[in-house]
Structure 1
Amino acid sequence: MQESISVCHNQYILKPQSIESEELENATFHAKQRAIEARQTISPWKKSHSLYETGGWKSLFENINQPLNLSTQSKEFQTRYNESANSLEQVVESAKLPLCPSGQPEIGNTVVFGVVGGTVEAPSIAYLTESQPVTEEILALSDSVKPTEIFRIASSCQADACRHFDGANCRLAVRIVQQLPTVVETLPACQIRSSCRWWQQEGKAACYRCPQMVTDNGYSSKILQEVGDPYSK
């Protein structure tokens, strides 16, 4: 895997990174070390723990205290989602929605498409050359940290169930493009691009900024926290 190249003004340009399936376990080990270090270096301005919480997902799963097997997770989410949906048609329509590239493993239609690398201050995503379905074996690799601290997971966009969605667009994707610097000069070899909400909505501009995003991060810069705040303008 290639390392990031530091440049001036505290910005950095990455060479797009890719990782073969057989390298996943080794990459995960390094990602866990970064996650543990990030937990020990929490930003003093940090208002929340993750895009997961600020995006509204926590309220959907706040009663789940222990890891569940995938079949139980699926049933739990389906029950909760059905309760929040106004009609069967809404549930059917949700299956047609694109993928959220900063998703959660509890939600159906999930794949791992990247592993978090880089440093605490400058994370960088290594994109898998072949996306992996989220399985119990994959989740077990996270061990003592959350899967979303070490993986980038794509799951079905939940539209109105997410605080980042304004009824038409993902406002998180909008803020990423408007407020964050680009960190790559060529498109990453992302396996979910054609189905990605951010790509479909914002195009290449989102992809040039995507490698710096960590869904559940113990340490984020102030600007990343502002971008992740659904109430930020």
Structure 2
Amino acid sequence: MDTEDTPGGTATEETKPTTWCPSGRADAPESVVLGVRSQSDASVTYLAAPTPAAELLPMIPANIEPTRVLRFASHCVSGCAHRSNNDCTLISKIQMLPAAGEPAVPRCHLRARCQWWRQTGATACQRCPAVSTAYHADDSLSTRVADPAVTPAQLQRWIDADHDAAASDSRA
């Protein structure tokens, strides 16, 4: 594998470094497995080294969505629905969600080239293990976070309204 196409690779002066999306597509040619998803709480345990997705995808049974068990990273592309200029709106929205306790910054082979790290630093890394690339129709908050059409401001208004409604319900 060409080091320029892997998260641990180094750029030469003639090449422009590529940032990587830690919520990438499994089917992208350069895709690597970032980690393995826990069955109990869906958190990610990161691999020590990048493993090409193409090597692991054939091992997943056909009736299991790969994003249910693995977390993928691939190139951050200009055509991504979550891209706004040079920023990722997905991590902006993920950071609006309450963190569970005091999450640690996990060890990760992607960090040196990670778009989320470059954009927001350690706070992105603290939320990253809880990010799911699998779609959950019954989770309206996750659906709104993942929807590229929902802006951070719209998400914040929805969170505030939902929080206000929950507070009213608890007083009733």
* TM-score, with length taken from structure 1: 0.53
- Assess, with a 3 A threshold, how the Cα gap between structure 1 residues 142 and 183 changes in structure 2: closer, same or farther: farther
**1:185: which partner in 2?**
103
**1:145: which partner in 2?**
64
Counting matched residue pairs gives 137
The alpha-carbon deviation at position 171 of structure 1 amounts to 0.2
- Assess, with a 3 A threshold, how the Cα gap between structure 1 residues 133 and 141 changes in structure 2: closer, same or farther: same
The alignment yields a C-alpha RMSD, in angstroms, of 2.3
Which residue identity is paired with 2:71?
R
- Assess, with a 3 A threshold, how the Cα gap between structure 1 residues 198 and 145 changes in structure 2: closer, same or farther: same
**2:43: which partner in 1?**
124
For structure 2, the 5+ residue unaligned runs are 1-14, 152-172
User: Which one of the candidate residues 77, 87, 99 is aligned to 1:169?
Assistant: 87
**1:107: which partner in 2?**
28
Cα contact 1:113–1:153 (8 A) shared by 2: yes
Residue 133 (str. 1) matches residue 52 (str. 2) = yes
The alpha-carbon deviation at position 219 of structure 1 amounts to 5.7
Residue 141 of structure 2 aligns to a residue whose secondary structure is helix
Residue 123 of structure 1 aligns to a residue whose secondary structure is coil
Bigger shift: residues 142-151 or 161-170: 142-151
Which protein has greater RCO, CA pairs closer than 8 Å, 6+ apart? 1
What percent of counterpart residues are identical? 31
**Alpha-carbon distance in structure 1 between the residues aligned to 2:140 and 2:39:** 18
- Assess, with a 3 A threshold, how the Cα gap between structure 1 residues 168 and 130 changes in structure 2: closer, same or farther: closer
Bigger shift: residues 96-105 or 181-190: 181-190
Residue 226 (str. 1) matches residue 147 (str. 2) = no
Cα contact 2:21–2:76 (8 A) shared by 1: yes
- Assess, with a 3 A threshold, how the Cα gap between structure 1 residues 106 and 118 changes in structure 2: closer, same or farther: closer
